[in-house]
Amino acid sequence: MGAPVKLVSVDDGDLIRVRARNGKVMTVRLACIDAPEAAQKPAGPAARAALQALLPVGASVTLQVRGVNRDGRTVAEVFKPGVPGSVNLRMVSQGMAFFDRQSRQGCDQYTYGEAETGASVSKRGVWGPKLGYDLMFPWDYRQCRAEGRCR
């Protein structure tokens, strides 16, 4: 894991900005997860709020970098000192994000799969009546929007 960095902002349920020790701000995509898009209301805004609750602005975090995605963003598991496990896994456990099976390389598939199953069975977050039921998976929603079939 790298040196601690400071959280600058939470953009959505799986995207943050951090300031490195050299002062550079970088965008970080949370590895292993895919949260509802902001336009997927009410689940998208709820996922962002859940991540903000886990990572308040100014929080010190460490990154376990997995690589860089096609958008040039750093992909990493995010850890908050003193809190067991990754923030990424906590988002899935809370039902505020899905295990991203499309980019699972380097992810503990069993642990993430179990966390998602637990959230689903317990009807937490996107799996429950307040946020889910008719919710489209974020990857399907992005494709639907790209094809002009969804708003």
- Average pLDDT, integer, range 20-36: 95
pLDDT tens-place string over residues 94-147 = 999 999 987 767 889 999 999 999 999 999 999 998 886 678 999 999 999 999
> Domain map of the chain by residue range?
5-137
Please write down the long-range contacts of 70-78, taking CB distance under 8 Å and 24 or more positions apart.
Answer: 71/29, 73/15, 73/27, 73/28, 73/29, 74/26, 74/27, 74/28, 74/29, 75/28, 75/29, 75/30, 75/31, 75/103, 76/28, 76/29, 76/30, 76/31, 77/30, 77/31, 77/32, 78/16, 78/28, 78/30
pLDDT of residue 133: 61
Architecture of 5-137 per CATH? Beta Barrel (2.40)
Backbone angles phi, psi at 145, to 5 degrees: -65, -40
Model confidence, pTM: 0.94
pLDDT band at 36 (very low <50, low <70, confident <90, very high): very high
Q: Worst-scoring range by mean pLDDT, 43-47, 50-54, 68-72, 129-133?
A: 129-133
Pairing relationship of beta strands 98-99 and 74-79 according to DSSP bridges = unpaired
Backbone angles phi, psi at 63, to 5 degrees: -115, 135
